[in-house]
C-alpha cells in the first residue's frame, strides 16, 4: 500500500506544485507592479489599471490560465505515465493470461499503432468539439479503457482496453500540447515548453520503477485500477478549472482520407514492428510498401480537397519540415533505447527487472531537467548553439554505449545512458519550438498532429531497426555461447544507435540555424519593456507569413492573375529562382494595365472591366496578357522591411504607403510578408486578452 500512497501523492503534489512554480515568482510580479505605480505618479494612470487587471505571471499567464495549464499537464502526465507503467508488468501478464512474448508485445506495439492512426484525426476533433468537452471526454474514454483492462478475463479483452486508451491518448496529447503552446505568449514558449517537458518527462522516468514496485506489491490489475481513479480525479478538476479556447478551425471528416491514413499507417507500422521477429519477411516488406502507397494517397488527397483532414501546407515551411524530421529521428533513438537497454541489463549483465528500471532512472530524470534547460537556452540564444551542443553530447553518449561489454560495470552503463537521454531531451524542446514558431497560430494544432504522427512512425522504425540489428548480430556469431551471441546482437544494436546519432549530428550542423527574428526575440526578452508587454509581439519576424504568395520572374501576366485569384491575394512579390525579390505585382497593377491600354478602367472603377467583359476589345486584351511578362507591368521597386523591424514601424509604413502587403527581406532574399489584415487581427487579439 505504500507504493499506492506514493503514486497518489505524486499526482497531488504535481497539481499543486505547478501552481507553486508561478507563485514563487510573486515578488518579481510585485516589483513590476511597484514600477507601474511609480509611473502612475507621473500621469500614466491607464497603465496601472491594465497591469492590475491582468495580473500576469512572469511567463505571461493569468491565474486562470495557470490553473488550466496545470489540469492539462496532469492529464498529459497520466497518459504518458501509462505508456511506461506497464512495461515491468508484461511477464506477470504472460503468466496469468497464458500468452507468449510475441503476443504480449502487442500491448505496446498496438498502442503505438492505434495512437498513430488516431493522431491525424485530432485536428478534426479539435475543430468540431469544444476543448472542454474533448478533454473531459478523452479522459473518460481513457479511464473506461483502463477499467476494461483491469477486469479483462483473457488477453483479447485486455488488448481492447489498451486500444481504448490509445484512442484517447492520440487525440488528447495533440490537443493538450496545442492548448499549452497557444496559451503561452510566443516569446515565452521556449521556456514554457521546457517546463512542460520537465513535468511530463518525470512521468516516464518513474514509470518503470514505480510499475515494478506496484506489480510486486498489488499485482498488474491494480495498475489499471489506479489509472481509473486518477482519470476520475482529473475529470473533476477539469470541470472546475478548464475553460474553452476558441479559434480552432473546423476541418472536414473526409472518408477517403480516414481510410487512406488508417490503412496506410496500420500497414506501415505493423510491417515495421513485425519485421524483426517475423518468419515471413516478404509479407512485412509488402505491408510496408502498401502502407507507403496509402500514406502517399492520403498526402495527395489532402492537397486536392477543399477541407483537408490535416493541413499539410505546414510542410511548406522549411524550418518546420527540418524540425519534425530531426525530432522523428531523435524519437527513434529514444524509443529504440528504451527497448534495448532493459534487455541488455537483464539478459547480458544478469540484473533483475527492478535494477534495470533503477539503472535507467537517472537518465530519465536528467532528461526531464534537460528539457527545461534547453527551452531557456533557446529563448535566450536561439536554436543553433543548444542544438549543436545537444547532438555533440548525443554522439558522445552513443559512443559510450558502443563500448558496452559483456561484463561492463553498471557505472559505465548508467553514465552513457544519462548522457544520451539528457542530450535527447535537451534537443526536443528547442528544435520543435523552432519549427513551430515558423507557422501561424491557426496551423499549430495541425503541425502538432503531424509531428506526433511522424514521431510514432519514428518510434516504430527505431525499435524495428535496432531489434533487426540485434537479430543480425546474433546470426553473425553462431559458434559462440548463448550469452556471447546475445551480447553480440545487442552490440550491433548500440552500433545502429550510434549511426542514427551521427545522422542527427549532420542534419543539425547543416540545416538547423538561427533566424534573425529568433535573435531579436531573445534580445527583446532582456529589456524591461518586454516584461511590461507580455503577450505582445515585438518584431515583424515574429508575426510574418513565412509561406507568402509569390510570382516567378519569368511568368506572364496571365499566370500572375491566376496566382493572385487562386490565393485570394491582393498582391504578390516577384522572385527569381534564387528567391531574390525583383518586383511586386498587385491587383491594381493588373487593372492599371487595362486602364492604360483600353481606357476602360480608371482609378477605382475596376467594376467597368467586369461589366464590359463581353466587349471584344477587352477579351483580346485579356488574351494578350499571355504574351506580356509580369515584370514589364509590375512595380520594380520593392518596399520591404527586415525581420527585426518593429511592428510599430511596419504599421507606419503600411499606412503611409497605403500598402496591403509588406514584404519581409533578409538582405534581398524574400523570407515572408506581413499583411495589413493580420496586424489588425493581432491588435484585436491583444485587446481581447486585456479584457
Residues 517 and 554 in one domain: no
Least confident piece of the model among 196-205, 441-450, 480-489, 530-539: 530-539
Domain contains 351? yes
Domain contains 535? no
Q: Please tell me the total count of domains within the chain.
A: 4
Where does the pLDDT of residue 564 fall: very low under 50, low under 70, confident under 90, or very high at 90 and above?
confident
Chain-centroid distance, C-alpha 434? 10
Please give the pLDDT value at position 515. 63
Q: Which three cell numbers stand for residue 159?
A: 488488448
Q: Find the CATH number of the domain harbouring 328.
A: 1.20.1250.20
Domain contains 534? no
Which among 519, 510, 470, 554 is positioned nearest to 642, based on CA atoms?
519
Task: Give the whole-angstrom CA distance, residue 643 versus residue 546.
Answer: 11
Residues 489 and 546 in one domain: no
Q: CB under 8 Å, gap of 24 or more: what pairs does 130-133 form? A: 130/244, 131/175, 131/179, 131/242, 131/244, 131/245, 131/248, 132/238, 132/242, 132/243, 132/244
Domain contains 575? yes
Among the candidates 249, 281, 297, a domain finishes at 249
Average pLDDT over residues 447-463: 73
Residues 584 and 619 in one domain: yes
Query: Cα dist. 114→108, 166, 187 in Å?
Result: 10, 6, 35
Task: Give the whole-angstrom CA distance, residue 84 versus residue 323.
Answer: 26
* Residue with the larger pLDDT of the pair 524 and 622: 622
Please give the pLDDT value at position 49. 38
Residues 80 and 197 in one domain: yes
Any residues with CB less than 8 A from the CB of 417 and at least 6 apart, and which? 337, 341, 359, 360, 362, 363, 397, 401
Please give the pLDDT value at position 636. 75
pLDDT tens-digit map of 282-305 = 888 899 899 899 989 988 988 888
Least confident piece of the model among 75-79, 499-503, 643-647: 643-647
Domain that holds residue 496: 314-525
* Backbone angle region of 572, left / alpha / beta, with phi > 0 → left and psi within -120 to 50 → alpha: beta
Flag whether pLDDT at 2 surpasses 70: no
**Rg for the chain (alpha carbons), in Å?**
28
Q: Find the CATH number of the domain harbouring 643.
A: 3.10.580.10
Domain contains 531? no
* Residue with the larger pLDDT of the pair 687 and 96: 96
How many of the other CB atoms lie within 10 Å of CB of 98?
Answer: 10
Q: Which three cell numbers stand for residue 148?
A: 476494461
Residues 236 and 293 in one domain: no
Residues 296 and 154 in one domain: no
Domain contains 193? yes
Residues 329 and 294 in one domain: no
Please give the pLDDT value at position 232. 94
Residues 284 and 373 in one domain: no
With pLDDT > 70 as the criterion, what percentage of the chain qualifies? 72
Residues 577 and 621 in one domain: yes
Residues 58 and 121 in one domain: yes
Domain contains 518? yes
Any residues with CB less than 8 A from the CB of 40 and at least 6 apart, and which? 47, 48
**CA-based max dimension of the chain:** 93
Task: Measure the CA dihedral 571/576/581/585, to 10°.
Answer: -20
Among the candidates 222, 249, 276, a domain finishes at 249
Residues 288 and 328 in one domain: no
Residues 446 and 483 in one domain: yes
Domain contains 376? yes
Among the candidates 204, 233, 249, a domain finishes at 249
Q: Which residue has the cell 499507417?
A: 265
Amino acid at each position: 500500500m505504500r507504493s499506492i500512497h506514493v503514486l497518489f501523492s505524486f499526482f497531488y503534489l504535481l497539481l499543486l506544485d505547478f501552481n507553486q512554480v508561478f507563485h514563487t515568482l510573486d515578488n518579481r510580479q510585485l516589483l513590476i507592479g511597484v514600477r507601474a505605480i511609480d509611473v502612475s505618479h507621473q500621469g500614466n494612470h491607464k497603465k496601472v489599471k491594465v497591469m492590475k487587471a491582468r495580473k500576469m505571471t512572469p511567463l505571461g499567464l493569468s491565474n486562470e490560465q495557470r490553473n488550466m495549464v496545470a489540469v492539462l499537464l496532469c492529464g498529459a502526465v497520466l497518459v504518458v505515465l501509462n505508456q511506461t507503467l506497464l512495461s515491468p508488468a508484461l511477464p506477470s501478464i504472460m503468466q496469468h493470461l497464458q500468452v507468449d512474448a510475441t503476443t504480449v508485445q502487442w500491448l505496446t506495439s498496438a498502442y503505438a499503432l492505434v495512437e498513430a492512426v488516431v493522431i491525424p484525426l485530432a485536428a478534426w476533433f479539435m475543430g468540431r468539439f469544444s476543448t472542454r468537452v474533448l478533454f473531459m471526454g478523452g479522459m473518460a474514454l481513457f479511464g473506461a479503457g483502463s477499467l476494461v483492462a483491469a477486469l479483462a478475463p483473457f488477453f483479447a479483452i485486455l488488448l481492447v482496453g489498451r486500444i481504448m486508451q490509445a484512442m484517447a491518448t492520440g487525440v488528447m496529447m495533440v490537443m493538450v500540447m496545442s492548448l499549452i503552446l497557444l496559451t503561452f505568449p510566443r516569446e515565452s514558449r521556449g521556456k514554457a515548453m521546457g517546463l512542460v517537458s520537465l513535468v511530463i518527462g518525470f512521468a516516464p522516468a518513474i514509470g518503470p520503477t514505480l510499475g515494478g514496485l506496484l506489480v510486486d506489491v498489488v499485482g498488474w490489475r491494480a495498475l489499471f485500477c489506479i489509472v481509473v481513479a486518477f482519470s476520475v480525479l482529473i475529470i473533476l478538476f477539469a470541470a472546475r478549472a478548464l475553460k474553452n479556447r476558441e479559434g480552432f478551425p473546423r476541418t472536414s471528416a473526409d472518408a477517403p482520407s480516414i481510410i487512406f491514413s488508417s490503412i496506410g499507417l496500420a500497414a506501415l507500422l505493423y510491417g515495421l514492428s513485425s519485421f524483426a521477429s517475423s518468419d515471413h519477411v516478404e509479407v512485412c516488406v509488402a505491408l510496408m510498401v502498401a502502407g507507403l502507397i496509402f500514406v502517399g494517397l492520403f498526402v495527395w488527397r489532402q492537397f486536392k480537397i477543399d477541407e483537408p483532414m490535416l493541413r499539410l501546407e505546414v510542410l511548406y515551411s522549411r524550418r518546420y519540415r527540418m524540425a519534425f524530421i530531426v525530432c522523428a529521428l531523435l524519437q527513434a533513438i529514444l524509443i529504440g533505447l528504451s527497448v534495448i537497454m532493459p534487455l541488455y541489463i537483464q539478459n547480458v549483465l544478469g540484473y533483475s527487472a527492478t535494477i534495470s528500471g533503477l539503472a535507467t532512472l537517472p537518465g530519465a530524470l536528467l532528461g526531464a531537467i534537460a528539457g527545461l534547460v534547453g527551452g531557456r537556452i533557446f529563448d535566450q540564444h536561439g536554436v543553433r548553439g543548444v542544438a549543436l551542443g545537444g547532438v555533440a553530447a548525443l554522439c558522445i553518449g552513443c559512443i559510450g554505449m558502443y563500448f558496452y561489454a559483456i561484463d561492463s560495470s553498471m557505472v559505465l552503463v548508467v553514465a552513457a545512458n544519462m548522457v544520451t537521454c539528457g542530450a535527447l531531451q535537451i534537443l526536443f524542446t528547442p528544435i520543435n519550438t523552432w519549427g513551430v514558431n515558423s507557422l501561424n497560430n491557426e496551423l499549430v494544432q495541425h503541425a502538432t498532429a503531424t509531428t506526433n504522427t511522424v514521431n510514432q512512425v519514428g518510434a516504430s522504425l527505431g525499435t524495428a531497426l535496432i531489434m533487426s540489428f540485434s537479430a543480425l548480430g546474433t546470426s553473425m556469431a553462431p559458434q559462440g555461447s548463448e550469452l556471447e551471441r546475445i551480447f553480440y546482437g545487442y552490440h550491433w544494436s548500440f552500433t545502429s544507435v550510434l549511426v542514427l546519432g551521427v545522422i542527427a549530428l549532420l542534419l543539425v550542423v547543416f540545416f538547423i540555424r538561427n533566424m534573425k527574428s529568433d535573435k531579436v526575440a531573445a534580445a527583446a526578452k532582456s529589456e524591461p519593456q518586454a516584461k511590461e508587454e507580455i503577450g505582445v509581439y515585438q518584431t515583424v519576424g515574429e508575426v510574418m507569413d513565412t509561406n507568402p504568395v509569390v510570382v516567378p520572374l519569368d511568368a506572364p501576366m496571365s499566370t500572375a492573375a491566376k496566382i493572385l485569384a487562386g490565393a485570394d491575394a491582393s498582391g504578390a512579390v516577384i522572385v527569381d529562382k534564387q528567391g531574390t525579390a525583383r518586383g511586386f505585382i498587385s491587383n491594381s497593377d493588373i487593372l492599371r494595365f487595362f486602364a492604360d491600354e483600353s481606357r476602360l478602367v480608371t482609378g477605382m472603377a475596376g467594376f467597368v472591366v467586369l461589366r464590359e467583359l463581353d466587349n471584344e476589345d477587352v477579351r483580346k486584351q485579356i488574351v494578350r496578357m499571355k504574351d506580356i511578362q509580369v515584370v514589364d507591368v509590375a512595380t520594380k521597386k520593392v518596399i520591404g522591411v527586415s525581420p527585426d523591424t518593429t511592428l510599430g514601424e511596419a504599421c507606419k509604413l503600411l499606412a503611409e504607403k497605403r500598402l496591403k502587403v509588406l514584404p519581409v527581406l533578409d538582405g534581398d532574399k524574400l523570407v515572408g510578408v506581413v499583411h495589413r489584415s493580420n496586424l489588425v487581427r493581432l491588435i484585436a487579439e491583444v485587446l481581447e486578452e486585456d479584457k
